[in-house]
Amino acid sequence: MIQEILPNIYIIVVPLPHNPLKALNTYLIVGADEFLLVDSGFNRKESKEALFTALESLKVDPDKTRVIITHLHADHSGLAEVLYKKGARLLMEPGEAQRIKSLSEEENWENMKGDLKTFGLEVDQNFFDDHPGKIYAPKGNFTYQPLKEGENIAIGEYSFEVILVPGHTPGMINLFDRKKGIYFSADHVLDSITPNIGFWGYDQEKMLEKYLNSLQKVQAYPIKIMLPSHRGVIMKPKERIEELQEHHKNRLEEVERIVTKKGTAVNVRDVAREMDWRIRARSWEDFPSPQKSFAAGEAMSHLEYLRDHGRITSYWEDNIIYFVKIPR
Ligand SMILES: [Zn+2]
């Protein structure tokens, strides 16, 4: 599906088959004999066909196209290398670019398995075999132009400022035309679904803290229309940001309740299996392993936040991290 939602700004809906996100909104901005594409789609047949059919029908010349990849996730980055091979120039935040490359490195997945084991999860050899980040990542090599916070990207009648919004990933970027009030929010602010805030390793803690700070940062901007990477356009960004802040406040209370209720120390898995998830599975044991890892990451980011704010405490035993309520 293609729609011109603002003058010379097209939304191209790219399907993400068998994924709960359903589809990715890529955005094409058309200038005078040049193009700017924001994000790409999974590196799989259905996404690729939809994207390239749309680009052809809009007469987009890859040689005259810059492609901004907002963050590492394969639904955004998957077709980056295909676009690059066709002649497009890639623009990415350097840390995210590094993480995109590591999606195809076994060591990255082994490290993630190691982290999940510290959560008390049972992780077998094939745990990540169905993970979309592993299957639909860009294959092969590419070069890119590094993007920095505050940098300006001009195209046609638009001028976009690069905004760094760590939280959903450590180096995700958004784009903001301040004069026109147009904001590309990637997976930072979404309508009707809440962005996953996970765990990025013990050297990258405080992701929920970072995410909430990034929400506050964006809340202060004069935004008229927000264009997210999934689901619908957001016409009331301030209200939606408030809802997301409220969501995490409730989530933190839920996690704190679970830790308190148990009365004894709990690990991340114990907490994740008791949390409320909007997923069609009968029980925690029936969660597909990618969903288990997302859920455990989400539990961990909230546990960390509670600990860092003195509401619970943590300790290590036999290479597993445990959380416990601080006695009054
Ligand atoms: Zn994402």
314 Cα to the center of ligand 1, angstroms: 28
Task: Say whether both 72 and 158 belong to one domain.
Answer: yes
Task: Say whether both 310 and 227 belong to one domain.
Answer: no
195 Cα to the center of ligand 1, angstroms: 7
* CA–CA distances in Å: residue 65 to residues 11, 32, 89, 90, 141: 16, 11, 6, 9, 18
307 Cα to the center of ligand 1, angstroms: 25
In a domain, 115, yes or no: yes
Residue 209: give its domain's CATH number.
Answer: 3.60.15.10
In a domain, 142, yes or no: yes
167 Cα to the center of ligand 1, angstroms: 10
Q: Residue 283 pLDDT more than 90?
A: no
In a domain, 249, yes or no: no
* 74 and 98 Cβ atoms separated by less than 8 Å: no
Relative to beta strand 312-317, strand 2-6 is unpaired
Task: Say whether both 222 and 285 belong to one domain.
Answer: no
* CA–CA distances in Å: residue 43 to residues 37, 49, 75, 79: 16, 10, 8, 5
271 Cα to the center of ligand 1, angstroms: 23
Label residue 274 by pLDDT band (50, 70, 90). very high
In a domain, 40, yes or no: yes
Question: What does the DSSP 8-state code read for residue 78?
Answer: T
Rg for the chain (alpha carbons), in Å? 20
275 Cα to the center of ligand 1, angstroms: 21
43 Cα to the center of ligand 1, angstroms: 15
Task: Say whether both 266 and 237 belong to one domain.
Answer: no
**Residue 117 exposed, middle or buried by CB count within 10 Å (0-12, 13-18, 19+):** middle
Given 181, 213, 242, the domain boundary residue is 242
Task: Say whether both 158 and 273 belong to one domain.
Answer: no
Find the domain containing 314 and state its range. Answer: 255-325
- The tally of domains found in the chain comes to 2
Given 212, 242, 272, the domain boundary residue is 242
What average pLDDT does the chain have?
95
Q: Is 91 helix (H, G, I), strand (E, B) or coil?
A: strand
158 Cα to the center of ligand 1, angstroms: 25
Per residue in 27-53, pLDDT (tens digit) is: 999 999 999 999 999 999 999 999 999
Q: Residue 328 pLDDT more than 70?
A: no
* 26 and 39 Cβ atoms separated by less than 8 Å: yes
Task: Say whether both 134 and 189 belong to one domain.
Answer: yes
pLDDT at 204: 82
2 Cα to the center of ligand 1, angstroms: 21
Per residue in 66-92, pLDDT (tens digit) is: 999 999 999 999 999 999 999 999 999
Task: Say whether both 267 and 321 belong to one domain.
Answer: yes
Question: What does the DSSP 8-state code read for residue 64?
Answer: G
In a domain, 39, yes or no: yes
152 Cα to the center of ligand 1, angstroms: 23
Task: Say whether both 151 and 231 belong to one domain.
Answer: yes
In a domain, 247, yes or no: no
Task: Say whether both 14 and 109 belong to one domain.
Answer: yes
101 Cα to the center of ligand 1, angstroms: 16
This prediction has a pTM of 0.95
76 Cα to the center of ligand 1, angstroms: 7
319 Cα to the center of ligand 1, angstroms: 29
Per residue in 107-131, pLDDT (tens digit) is: 999 999 999 999 999 999 899 998 9
pLDDT at 326: 82
Run of H or E including 303 = helix 289-308
> For residue 225, which of 181, 161, 179 has the smallest C-alpha distance?
181
172 Cα to the center of ligand 1, angstroms: 9
168 Cα to the center of ligand 1, angstroms: 7
In a domain, 305, yes or no: yes
* Cα–Cα dist 173/132, whole Å: 21
229 Cα to the center of ligand 1, angstroms: 8
77 Cα to the center of ligand 1, angstroms: 10
Task: Say whether both 105 and 175 belong to one domain.
Answer: yes
Given 196, 220, 242, the domain boundary residue is 242
Residue 318: give its domain's CATH number.
Answer: 1.10.10
In a domain, 248, yes or no: no
Task: Say whether both 59 and 186 belong to one domain.
Answer: yes
pLDDT at 245: 98
33 Cα to the center of ligand 1, angstroms: 30
Task: Say whether both 19 and 163 belong to one domain.
Answer: yes
